[in-house]
Every structure is written in C-alpha cells, then in structure tokens.
Structure 1
C-alpha cells in the first residue's frame, strides 16, 4: 500500500477538525470526492493479481490530493484568522455601542425604558465572547447579530428624545424664550426663573442677572415637552407663578399657569393631527416643589426642601418661569449623541 495513503487519512481528519466543512465547504467537498475516487482506484488495484498491481499512478494522484489538502489547510487558516479579526471587531463595536447607549440612558429619566433591552444585549454579548474564546465563530456571530437587534430597539427608544436637543429649530426657540425672560427681569427689576432640562438646573435671576443655580428633578418623561394629561412630561414654555403653597404634599410648592394659551393651541392641533388620544385631557397642576431633586415626578420640577424654602421667600406670585430643553447648541445631550 502507498505510504501517502496514511498521510492522507491523517490530513483528512485534521482538516475536518479545523472546520474545513465550514470555512471552505466547496473546496473541502471536492477534496473529499477526490479521496473517494482514489480509494475506489485502490480497491480496484488491490483486486488485481499481485504480479500485475501497479500503484505508480495512484501514488501520483495521492500526492496531488495531499498537496490540495495542504493548500486547503492554508486557506482555512487564513479564513479563520480573518473571521477571528472580524468577530473581534464586532465584539468591540457591540461593547462600545452598549456602553454608549447605557451612558445615554443614564442621562434621561426615559432611559429606564431602554435598559431592559440593553441587559439582554449584554447577556448575548457575554455569550458571544465565550463562544469566540472557544473558537466557535459561527455561534458567536449569531449571538452578535441577535444582540444588535436589542441595541437598535434601545436606540429607537431614546435617540428621538435626545435628538430634540440637537435640533437647531428647538434651540433657537428655547434661546428666544430665555432671552425674553431675562430681558423682562432686567427691564422690570423683578426675579425670574429659567429651568434648563438638559442640565437639570433652575437658575434664579434678579434684574436680569443670574444669582443662584439649583439642581432639579423632572418628570418621569421630563426630557419631552408635555402634550397631555398623564404623559409624565415636563412642559416647555413661558409661564408664571400663580400661587405659592406654604403647605404642600411635597413640602412647599410654586404653582405655574400650565396650560397657558400656547399649550392649549398645541394641544388642540396635536389632537386634530391624531398625535394624542381623542379622549385625552390637557392636564395641569404643574409646580416647582420640594421633595428632593433626585425624585422623578409626574411632570413637575422637584428641588431639595432647603432650596425651595430659599426660593419661596424671594419670588412673588407673577414671577416669570421659563422652562426650556437647552440654552445653547453645545448642550450635554447634543454632545453626547454626536457621532452616533
């Protein structure tokens, strides 16, 4: 028997172990077909009378098949290396994407809605890394493809919210409202309040000059503009304090005149365009109140009790209160989503 046959049998086993059927299925199938043919030739030759057996042609063919196997092995090694690099890059991209989206979810109250899908994506990423480390690239890639769908769902939940803060039309509108409020404070010599959602701050002005800045909490969906009752969003616009409540469920409270005329117009238009349910109400009872700046409200602006105590003594009924998403283009949210 030709000695090349033993080498071929070892080569065939090694190629199968290296995943030839996965990384080079066509070439490997041709290789297997050639082996089947040479084995048939060997059987046929062995059946001849010993004096007439001639293995020279078979040996030559065996050497050709062995050479094909060597080339196939190199091809598989190159493909595995390339696949390794591809999967490694995909893992790194997925990891960075998850961390980026997770960071964004921590910036807004609405981020809680996306975290369930991010947790699922993280679990799949962990499984993909384990498969990758075990050289199971096919399964690893499937896990990565699956987790990408969860990332997309998370992005779909939060990016439209954050994109508001990169919208130049929104920024110009907010800047105009802030400028008008500060100008009124300066002209009339009165206090005024500016609430900046992106920074979660309340700035108290006197005579058009900022004198105190406080951290605040917003509605559960406070990064959005309020449209209707029960949406848990914090309204955006120019308001005034209509009542000072020295005793409130949340320590002290300053009641705002939400909804104002502009809010009512927007509410009617949104309902007409089918953007809110036909039976929805416009809502009300929007306040600046105590209870803690870290709490999520139903749409109000929350502060530490000691801070609302301070403001309560300074601002009279009628004080202008302007609530905006941001005061400039380079705000925290627009910077965070840059490059996404």
Structure 2
C-alpha cells in the first residue's frame, strides 16, 4: 500500500514538473552572426560566418511575392535589418522583432502617400489558420513553436537579418 502511494506521488510530481517545462532554452554553441531568409525557397538560415548552423522551413506574409511597401499589404520586407527586440509574451509563442521599417522603407511608403507599417517579427505558430495556409502572416516570418524556442535561444538582439526575394 505504501509503495502504491509513493508511486502515485512520484507520478503526480513528474507530471506537475513536466507541465512547468520552460519554453526558454539555453544555447552554448557558436554565435549566430547573421540570419538569412530566402523568401522564394521558404527557408531561413542561422549562420556563423558563412557556415549554416540551422535551417528552417518558414511561412511568410499572405502576399509573399515582392517587397513590403505599405502597411497592410501582407508582404514580408526584403533588405538588411537587425533583430531589435525580444518578446517572451508574444501571442505567437515567442518572437524576435525585426527593425523594419528603415529610412528607405519609410521614404518608399511616403512617396506612395502611405505608411510603411511595422511590427515585423520572426515568431512561432498562430491559430488554426497557420496550419491551413502555407503563407498566413501579415508580413512576418513564422516557424513552429518548437523551432522558435530554438531560434529565440540562439539569436541575440543586434544580429543582422538579411531577407532576400
């Protein structure tokens, strides 16, 4: 009888502790010096120098062709930016902010009489829509929740991100 109680207590504690598993991982490998996104290939690479440390299949904005020009166009921007913030409380699990818009982006949008938009992130999964459509974001770069945990641990604020067609 006492063995059964101990076993039940052990099972309860193991379950409780696993429920507390953190979405925050640690990373002790080579520094990620650049993030490269190839929109047409739907791939994102974490690089150390010229060596790819990791690669990921990605989802993009719901209008994936072309460069982001204005707010609400559903496009993912193209160009060179920086990871400029971290959001541990993202509604998309975790997210890393991209420094869009830059001065060129603002000027391009203003020339069209529009706003450039903002809040472009690398983030995890969203709602059911993220499972039904290949490109479902409003211009962000999305990976799975498990993958964003890894990316979030590996990529530091200030890291360059280059987004290509």
Question: TM over 0.5: same fold?
Answer: yes
Report which of the two has the higher share of helix: 1
Partner of 1:247: 89
Partner of 1:196: 38
Aligned length: 129
Structure 1: any 5+ residue segments left out of the alignment? 1-188, 272-277, 326-340
Check whether the contact 2:63–2:135 (CA below 8 A) recurs between aligned residues: no
Report which of the two has the higher share of strand: 2
In structure 1, what is the Cα distance between the partners aligned to 2:146 and 2:48?
A: 20
Partner of 1:309: 149
**One of 296, 308, 313 as aligned partner of 2:136:** 296
Offset, 1:295: 5.0
1:251 is paired with a residue whose SS is coil
2:89 is paired with a residue whose SS is strand
In structure 2, what is the Cα distance between the partners aligned to 1:255 and 1:302?
A: 12
RCO greater where, 1 or 2, for CA within 8 Å and sep 6 or more?
Answer: 2
CA-to-partner distance for each residue in 1:37-58, whole Å, 9 max, x for gaps? xxxxxxxxxxxxxxxxxxxxxx
CA-to-partner distance for each residue in 1:246-271, whole Å, 9 max, x for gaps? 120100000011001221232233x1
Residue 282 of structure 1 pairs with residue 116 of structure 2? yes
2:107 is paired with a residue whose SS is helix
CA-to-partner distance for each residue in 1:153-187, whole Å, 9 max, x for gaps? xxxxxxxxxxxxxxxxxxxxxxxxxxxxxxxxxxx
Check whether the contact 2:32–2:46 (CA below 8 A) recurs between aligned residues: no
In structure 2, what is the Cα distance between the partners aligned to 1:287 and 1:297?
A: 10
In structure 1, what is the Cα distance between the partners aligned to 2:104 and 2:158?
A: 18
Q: TM-score, normalised by structure 1?
A: 0.36
RMSD over aligned Cα atoms: 1.6
Residue 223 of structure 1 pairs with residue 65 of structure 2? yes
Partner of 2:56: 214
Offset, 1:190: 4.8
Check whether the contact 2:124–2:142 (CA below 8 A) recurs between aligned residues: yes
Q: TM-score, normalised by structure 2?
A: 0.73
